[in-house]
Structure 1
């Protein structure tokens, strides 16, 4: 099988699968090494970008997925019937931020940082698939620990959790904003 045919197969597999597909699964399907599959996917990503195709291949941890380009959103949204899909409240966004930076974390730890109860926010984030239970701590009461999901990474365009902006960078932006408003 030549490289061009392998690229076509990968594109078809990613299209049909719809969700992110691990490099291990693709290597097994194609009967190739993981490194070879990664190299081919990197070539495909470069070709898609160079040719300004309507699709792109995104990476989420060590998995890949076909996606439309962000810059085409305004055109694509014209086709989509709006769902009554509310965004996140400020409370839910604060809770999500704490979980994403401090994970794994318990509800009590989140509440101690926020200073208010956060059961409802956590449930909302779980319902939206942005947060999940990651297990329980081995201490009194066996509290649930929470962390973000792959859906969180996909939603915010992150390859992995290490792609989050560093807290110092965010503080620097806040300071710049404060200086500009004075």
Structure 2
């Protein structure tokens, strides 16, 4: 039996996986003595992506590898496959996630100092459970507070290959003009979403007027802007199993 074209094998694997596949994982599809090189895989993926130019789905590279997903233009129609109406993110959730993304690694106390209000334990728990953030160490100060950073799952969910693709803070200053809103799914909708991991993710938008909020999002952006140049853009030096390491200078 002759082997199909490399692009077709990769297409079949990506369709079956329903999640990003790295080049290393794609090479494991082949016998060791017949495995294509990473360069050959990349060339085949480019050809495959080009073949979808006029299709409703696309081939996208994210932090976890390559995946097939519905183009964002079709989200208004495809999203109607799920009847449950998801909730929106709260401003507190958005601000906490933004601080972790733009100033990582960061402790809960540092987040509270910038926002001016306490960070709900439920927010941290939710971010950890969704595997969007993780503990990467402990600050070498009294109490040794945990330091949080984003994960590859965070990048995959928001269609990014690295933190370098985070939008510049200047482009999101007018948060009220961002459309459409990102929605936070409850358990029922999340279960449906797990069956369609190829759905694209839309930009963030926060709820206004949350009780207890003392720091506006514009003020938060001002705080972050001075820190943007020092943003972490890799993961290899963020070691979750090194609690004694002082990463204060990271």
Q: TM-score, normalised by structure 1?
A: 0.81
| 2:46 paired with 1:42 | yes
Say if 1:99 and 1:148, in contact at 8 Å, map to a contact too: yes
1:112 is matched with: 113
Structure with a larger share of its residues in helix: 1
CA distance, structure 1, for counterparts of residue 18 and residue 68 of structure 2: 7
Deviates more, 1:94-103 or 1:52-61: 52-61
| 2:162 paired with 1:160 | yes
1:98: how far off?
0.5
SS at match of 1:41: helix
How do residues 83-94 of structure 1 correspond to structure 2 at under 5 angstroms? 85-94=86-95
1:152: how far off?
2.2
1:23 is matched with: 23
How do residues 1-182 of structure 1 correspond to structure 2 at under 5 angstroms? 5-30=5-30, 31-49=35-53, 52-61=54-63, 63-82=65-84, 85-118=86-119, 119-171=121-173
Q: TM-score, normalised by structure 2?
A: 0.60
- Cα RMSD of the aligned pairs, angstroms, is 2.4
When the two structures are aligned, how many residues end up with a matched partner? 170
CA distance, structure 2, for counterparts of residue 150 and residue 62 of structure 1: 6
CA distance, structure 1, for counterparts of residue 122 and residue 87 of structure 2: 15
- Gap runs ≥5 in structure 2: 176-250
1:59: how far off?
0.9
1:150: how far off?
2.7
SS at match of 2:160: coil
- Gap runs ≥5 in structure 1: 175-182
Q: Which protein has greater RCO, CA pairs closer than 8 Å, 6+ apart?
A: 2
CA distance, structure 1, for counterparts of residue 25 and residue 138 of structure 2: 30
